[in-house]
């Protein structure tokens, strides 16, 4: 069964509106977890999370810093692994992906949870339909 999510309308500073594809996910590390509304971004290589989330989840983080090009220019990130659960309307519809590599933004001003392609898109058939929804169907391997 496909998971179905929606576009959310956001009012921008200049009074115009934009719609963004928001998915309902849980980021989990052992017994710690947080539920987020995250942007599903087919143009982002990695899933990115703020440092405060990595700290909250007690993620094991690699020491090495790498550069990542983001919307504020190039920023430093560290990498960690997390379980991402895509929530459904009911619990039995959930789809979990384990050991997904995430980029942890080191700049405290860069606070967004963005679901990128690596470790995610190869597991789903994803359809973006701006007027209706975003559907994710788990692929069997």
Site residues (CB under 8 A) for another protein? 5-6, 8, 10-13, 18, 20, 22, 24, 33-39, 41, 43-45, 50, 52-53, 55-56, 69-71, 87, 89, 108, 111-114
3-state class (DSSP) for residue 53: helix
Structure tokens at 114: 């963005």
We find the least distance from the C-beta atom of residue 76 to another protein, in angstroms, to be 16
Closest to another protein by CB, 74 vs 140, is 74
25 SS3 class = strand
User: Least distance from C-beta 93 to another protein, angstroms?
Assistant: 11
* The two structure tokens encoding residue 98: 């384990």
Question: How many CA atoms, within 13 angstroms, populate the side-chain half-sphere of residue 7?
Answer: 13
Q: Which residue has the tokens 């994710």?
A: 136
5 in helix, strand or coil? Answer: strand
Query: For another protein, which is the closer residue by CB, 38 or 100?
Result: 38
Rounded least distance, CB 137 to another protein, Å: 19
Least CB distance to another protein at residue 10 (A)? 6
Burial zone of 81 (CB within 10 Å; 0-12 exposed, 13-18 middle, 19+ buried): middle
Nearer to another protein, 71 or 141 (CB): 71
């Amino acid at each position: 069964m496909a998971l179905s999510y929606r576009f959310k309308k956001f009012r921008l500073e200049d009074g115009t509106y934009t719609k963004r594809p928001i998915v309902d996910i849980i980021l989990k590390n052992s017994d710690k977890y947080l539920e987020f509304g995250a942007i599903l971004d087919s143009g982002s290589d990695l899933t990115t999370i703020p440092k405060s989330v990595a700290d909250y989840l007690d993620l094991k983080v690699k020491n090495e810093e790498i550069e990542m090009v983001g919307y504020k220019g190039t920023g430093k990130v560290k990498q960690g692994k997390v379980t991402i659960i895509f929530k459904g309307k009911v619990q039995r519809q959930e789809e979990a992906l384990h050991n997904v590599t995430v980029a942890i933004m080191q700049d405290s001003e860069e606070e967004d949870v963005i679901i990128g392609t690596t470790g995610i898109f190869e597991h789903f058939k994803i359809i973006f339909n701006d007027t209706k929804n975003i559907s994710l169907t788990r692929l069997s391997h």
